[in-house]
Amino acid sequence: MQIEVILSSKTLYRKLSAIVKVISSRSTMPTHSYFLFKVENNELIVVATDIQTTVKTVIDTDKLTGEGEVLIEHSILLSGLKELPEQPIKITIDELQKIKISYERGSFNITGLTSEDFSMMQNHDKEDPINIEMKGDMLVNGIKTTLPYAANDELRPVMYSVFMECKSGQLNFTATNAHYMAVLENKNVNYQDFAVIIDPKAARLLSDLISGDEPVNLYLGSKTLAATFGEYEVITRLIDGVYPNYRAVIPQDNSEELTINKNGLIASLKRVGIFSNQASSLVILNTEKNKLIITGADQDYGSSAKETLPCCGDTNVQIGFKSEFLQQCLKSIGTEEARLSLKDSSCAGLITPVDAEEGVELTILLMPMLVNV
């Protein structure tokens, strides 16, 4: 094996920095901390993987000779490339996996490994997958909107995930934990029905790699999901299990509604939260006609705060929320105004955008906290 590659230093660094996110610092397999460089059919392919997910990318080159593959440790390679200004570099790899990277004013050398112990995520489906071409921005928006609401609990992988399903011409993304839940619905899509539970690391990787509205080809099986887009390919093992019936917990009779400026409410919550109990972060909302009163108190330290905000709505509800959770819910709203749909102090509140994009509906559910009057 004798390989010679000439390419842009920044192009290589940018591509490696994008796919290195899949590499786990806790991997039990030493070779999973390496990039696989593979030259075949006049293409330079670089692969990174962990136990659950593999990502491949094709890197543009100015010159490419030879064929073969080698493993290169990711951290030392990225560190060396990071300090190089934009310029052509030459990579040479010999039969002993000795790698030399030459540039205008010098060179550095790395010893690679053979690729025989490098295992990649493979397709484990026996049946043919469902093939869907989806707009990249639809997939990215669904993941980025809902992923912050997934439980941070690796012992419950079904909850530590993003649920994506298509049913009767509606594509939904959902993530939840015991405190709040986000459901993003895309109406009037023309996809075959499916339901998959996506590992959060793979979901985050997809949302980082997909650019704009480029088309994404999804191959959805019973055990694996593969996605191809641009110069990337991602294959990941799906979470095995049954996702909870999230629609059953969304209240249907929250008739007490008010609309309010989102950023103004977030700012008020930050100020009042300073003076609320630091352990519970409880803030109490009292609604009146065209008025929202926010209070917080810490009885242990004798501190308290109260603010009144204008809103639109003739309601009369008292309800308590964890300040940080309510702020997170409001930050997910992409419009200037948010709608709060409430019932009473024991029923979950719903938060939705006002004048949202046509055909797209976001519903955020937030569980209340006990208010001690």
CA distance 234 to 252: 39
CA distance 82 to 94: 24
CA distance 246 to 161: 13
| Residue 373's pLDDT band (cuts 50, 70, 90) | low
Q: According to the model, what pLDDT value does residue 194 have?
A: 95
Number of separate helices (H) and strands (E) present in the chain: 6, 24
Name which of 70-79, 124-133, 342-351 the model is least confident about. Answer: 124-133
The percent of residues in the chain predicted with pLDDT above 90, rounded, is 80
CA distance 213 to 136: 5
CA distance 302 to 294: 17
Q: According to the model, what pLDDT value does residue 347 have?
A: 95
3-state secondary structure of 95: coil
CA distance 250 to 245: 10
Query: Do 286 and 373 contact (CB within 8 A), yes or no?
Result: no
- List, in order, residues 6 or more apart from 345 with CB less than 8 Å away: 317, 318, 319, 320, 368, 371
| Residue 124's pLDDT band (cuts 50, 70, 90) | low
Averaged pLDDT, 131-157: 91
First to last CA, the chain: 77
CA distance 116 to 31: 10
Phi/psi at 95 (5° precision)? -65, -20
Give the torsion sign (CA, 337, 338, 341, 347).
negative
The percent of residues in the chain predicted with pLDDT above 70, rounded, is 98
Q: According to the model, what pLDDT value does residue 58 have?
A: 96
Averaged pLDDT, 192-218: 94
Q: According to the model, what pLDDT value does residue 29 have?
A: 78
| Residue 172's pLDDT band (cuts 50, 70, 90) | very high
| Residue 38's pLDDT band (cuts 50, 70, 90) | very high
Q: Is residue 169's pLDDT more than 80? A: yes
Per-residue pLDDT of 271-329, as tens digits, reads 999 999 988 999 999 999 999 999 999 988 889 999 999 999 999 999 999 999 999 99
Q: Count the Cβ atoms, other than its own, within 10 Å of residue 344.
A: 11
Q: Is residue 372's pLDDT more than 90? A: no
Q: Tokens representing 1?
A: 């094996």
Per-residue pLDDT of 47-87, as tens digits, reads 999 989 999 999 999 999 999 999 999 999 999 999 899 99
Looking up tokens 């390679």 gives: 77
Q: Is residue 155's pLDDT more than 80? A: no
Q: According to the model, what pLDDT value does residue 127 have?
A: 82
Please give the order of strands across the beta sheet that includes 360-366. 194-198, 162-167, 170-176, 180-186, 360-366, 349-353, 337-342, 256-261, 303-314, 282-298, 318-322
| Residue 358's pLDDT band (cuts 50, 70, 90) | confident
CA distance 133 to 215: 6
Query: Mean pLDDT, the chain, as a whole number?
Result: 92
CA distance 152 to 161: 9
Q: Count the Cβ atoms, other than its own, within 10 Å of residue 269.
A: 22
Whole-Å CA distances, 207 to 46, 234, 352: 19, 11, 23
Per-residue pLDDT of 256-282, as tens digits, reads 999 999 999 999 999 999 999 988 999
Averaged pLDDT, 23-34: 82
Per-residue pLDDT of 207-219, as tens digits, reads 999 988 899 999 9
Looking up tokens 């809103």 gives: 311
